[in-house]
Amino acid sequence: MRIGDAAAAAGTTPRALRFYEERGLLPPPARTATGQRRYGPDEVARVRVIRELLALGLTVEDLRGLADRLQLLAEEPRRRCATSDPASPGSGVVARRLAALDAEIERLSRLRERLARRTGQEG
């Protein structure tokens, strides 16, 4: 399928597919004789994984470090929660992202408490 069809099937835009390719998250697709990108179900599944991980709070840079494993997640979705191996490349990325989220939650909680005290809206 062409880029527009693949993007629609994955719930994104052609621009996003080109961006993922530029960033190394999506391998360069096959091309037609006229140079148009051609995508198959494997690429669409990979883009869905990328979008899901981005929606969960990982960044494009986080995913760049896992680019070689993204296809594994697309092929075997249950794998995404199955590993507890601390040597796994994904475990460090996820641990760092979780720590960043925890720090941001703590910062926002403190900010909320201060604002509530200041405005008399505690509790």
Name the pairing type of β-strands 30-31 and 37-38.
antiparallel
**Mean confidence (pLDDT) of the chain:** 87
| DSSP run (H or E) holding 30 | strand 30-31
pLDDT(6) > 80: yes
Burial code (b: 16+ CB inside 10 Å, e: under 16) for 79-103 equals: ebeeeeeeeeebeebbeebeeeeee
pLDDT one-digit tens code per residue, 8-67? 999 999 999 999 999 999 999 999 999 999 999 999 999 999 999 999 889 999 899 888
- Among 2-6, 38-42, 96-100, the minimum mean pLDDT is found in 96-100
pTM of the model: 0.76
